[in-house]
């Protein structure tokens, strides 16, 4: 439903406003009769700021103008004007002709302005569809401006409300067209950028060895006359991007230890074989195949009896030497086992990412704990 808006009744709206203006010289606060004549936002501005103002030089007249520079000029214009009421009616006389022009700002904002050439003022009204504090729907003062001549004329104002609505629609259409024209160069730039990207990627198809093999129907020849098998065999030299094997992840072997891995086996072999080299015939229990003793000889060996005191002493010395050699062999085997275990633990720690210094510190800590347990 279209709202019916009547033109402002200037001869009813202007006299109460003009009557309030001279009161600014005798009162620092606006008269109560002025506030209902103002638009809601201007009413709130004048009511609040005038109550907070402590300056004796600034009048509430300046609050009727939103521009600070024009506000000072407005007060000067009113200071030099004479507002004399009619001797009979008691109201301020108005010119015979009061032209009104209109401007549609948006769908909800309609303004009207009335120039007062005799007082060098321009009153701008705002249509308020709902204003209970001002007395209901109607025209309210939106701003009071100083007027300095024809330079203040604005061609965007229309002579009627209907014309103002048409001008607003034309401005909206012009804005849309201008916006579209501004976006076209941007779209062309984006299209040019896309073309540049296409040209960039197309370079790979013109690079030797970088073309993607295209599907072939009946032909068995690939590019440059290569057979299909030869053509696809070229891809065998390319390492797949998802290959799990990474040569950089290979960890070097742990350095050689001071103990040889086959030391214990060599010692035991020398003890059993009686110092024979690896080229000799294998022996059984330390004997060559042709000299294996019988059962009786074996039982005699299990219970040796010295033939004399001297032979008994020799056997005892030989036994001690044999035990010493065996003890040395055991010690070597234990040391070899400990060294192999340490090397295995180090490989395990290195595989988990543990630095060498941290591993050495951990081993040292365990050794210190062993010392504490031994002392206890």
Q: Among residues of the chain, what percentage have pLDDT more than 90?
A: 25
pLDDT at 66 > cutoff 70: yes
* Of 194 and 80, the one with more pLDDT: 80
Residue 132 — left, alpha, or beta (φ > 0 → left; ψ -120 to 50 → alpha)?
Answer: alpha
Name, in order, each residue with C-beta under 8 angstroms of 133's C-beta and a sequence gap of 6 or more. Answer: 36, 40, 43
**DSSP one-letter string for 16-32:** HHHHHGGGGGT-SS--T
What pLDDT does residue 92 have?
82
What pLDDT does residue 272 have?
53
Q: Which is nearest to 151 in space by CA: 125, 124, 122, 123?
A: 122
Q: DSSP state, 138?
A: E
- Alpha helices by DSSP H, listed for the chain, are 10-20, 40-52, 68-80, 161-205, 228-233, 263-273, 295-302, 309-351, 356-375
Average pLDDT over residues 287-313: 53
Name, in order, each residue with C-beta under 8 angstroms of 142's C-beta and a sequence gap of 6 or more. Answer: 39, 42, 111, 124, 125, 126
355 phi/psi in degrees, rounded to 5: -65, 160
**For residue range 19-57, what is the model confidence (pLDDT) as tens digits?**
999 888 888 889 999 999 999 999 999 999 988 876 666
Residue 165 burial (C-beta neighbours within 10 Å; 0-12, 13-18, 19+)? middle
Q: What is the mean pLDDT of the chain?
A: 75
Q: Among residues of the chain, what percentage have pLDDT more than 70?
A: 62
What pLDDT does residue 340 have?
84
pLDDT band at 246 (very low <50, low <70, confident <90, very high): low
Alpha carbons 293 and 297: distance in angstroms, whole number: 6
* Of 302 and 60, the one with more pLDDT: 60
pLDDT at 255 > cutoff 60: no
Residue 315 — left, alpha, or beta (φ > 0 → left; ψ -120 to 50 → alpha)?
Answer: alpha
Highest mean pLDDT: which of 86-100, 202-216, 323-337? 86-100
pLDDT at 258 > cutoff 50: no
Residue 343 burial (C-beta neighbours within 10 Å; 0-12, 13-18, 19+)? middle
Long-range contacts of 21-29 (CB under 8 A, 24+ apart): 21/61, 21/78, 21/81, 21/83, 22/78, 22/83, 24/59, 24/60, 24/61, 24/75, 24/78, 25/59, 28/53, 28/56, 28/59, 28/60, 29/60
pLDDT at 247 > cutoff 70: no
Hey, which residues does 124 pair with through a beta bridge?
113, 143
85 phi/psi in degrees, rounded to 5: -75, 155
pLDDT band at 62 (very low <50, low <70, confident <90, very high): very high
* Of 32 and 184, the one with more pLDDT: 32
pLDDT at 63 > cutoff 90: yes
pLDDT band at 99 (very low <50, low <70, confident <90, very high): very high
pLDDT at 9 > cutoff 50: yes
Alpha carbons 64 and 125: distance in angstroms, whole number: 12
**For residue range 210-239, what is the model confidence (pLDDT) as tens digits?**
555 555 444 445 445 556 667 667 666 655
What pLDDT does residue 220 have?
47
Determine the angle formed by the axes of helices 309-351 and 356-375, rounding to 10 degrees.
130
**For residue range 111-146, what is the model confidence (pLDDT) as tens digits?**
999 999 989 999 999 999 988 888 889 999 999 999
What pLDDT does residue 12 have?
92
Highest mean pLDDT: which of 143-147, 268-272, 348-352? 143-147
* Of 36 and 352, the one with more pLDDT: 36
pLDDT at 94 > cutoff 80: yes
């Amino acid at each position: 439903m279209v709202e019916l808006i009547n033109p402002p009744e200037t001869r009813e709206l202007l006299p109460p406003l003009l009557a309030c203006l001279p009161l600014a010289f005798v009162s620092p606060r606006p008269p109560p009769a002025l506030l209902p004549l103002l638009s809601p936002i201007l009413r709130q501005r004048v009511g609040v700021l005038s109550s907070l103002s402590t300056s004796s030089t600034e009048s509430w007249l300046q609050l009727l103008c939103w521009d600070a520079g024009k506000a000072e000029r407005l007060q000067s214009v009113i200071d030099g004007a004479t507002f004399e009421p009619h001797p009979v009616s008691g109201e301020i006389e108005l010119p015979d002709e009061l032209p009104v022009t209109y401007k549609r700002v948006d769908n909800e904002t309609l303004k009207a302005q009335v120039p007062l050439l005799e007082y060098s003022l321009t009153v701008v009204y705002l249509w308020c569809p709902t204003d209970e504090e001002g007395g209901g729907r109607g025209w309210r003062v939106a701003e009071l401006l100083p007027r300095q001549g024809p330079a203040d004329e604005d061609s965007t104002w229309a002579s009627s409300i209907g014309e103002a609505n048409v001008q607003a629609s034309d401005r909206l259409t012009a804005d849309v067209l201008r916006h579209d024209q501004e976006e076209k160069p941007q779209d062309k730039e984006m299209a040019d950028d896309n073309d540049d990207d296409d040209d960039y990627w197309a370079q790979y198809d013109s690079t030797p060895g970088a073309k993607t093999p295209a599907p072939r129907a009946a032909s068995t020849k690939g590019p440059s006359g290569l057979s299909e098998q030869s053509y696809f065999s070229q891809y065998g030299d390319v390492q797949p991007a998802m290959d799990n094997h990474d040569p950089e992840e290979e960890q070097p072997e742990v350095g050689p230890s001071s103990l040889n891995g086959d030391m214990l086996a060599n010692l035991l072999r020398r003890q059993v074989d009686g110092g024979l080299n690896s080229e000799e015939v294998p022996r059984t229990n330390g004997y060559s195949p042709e000299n294996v003793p019988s059962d009786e000889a074996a039982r005699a060996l299990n219970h040796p009896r010295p033939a004399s005191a001297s032979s008994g002493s020799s056997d005892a010395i030989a036994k001690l030497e044999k035990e010493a050699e065996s003890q040395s062999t055991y010690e070597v085997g234990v040391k070899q086992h400990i060294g192999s275990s340490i090397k295995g633990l180090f490989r395990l720690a290195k595989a988990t990412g543990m630095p060498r210094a941290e591993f050495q510190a951990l081993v040292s800590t365990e050794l210190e704990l062993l010392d504490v347990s031994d002392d206890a």
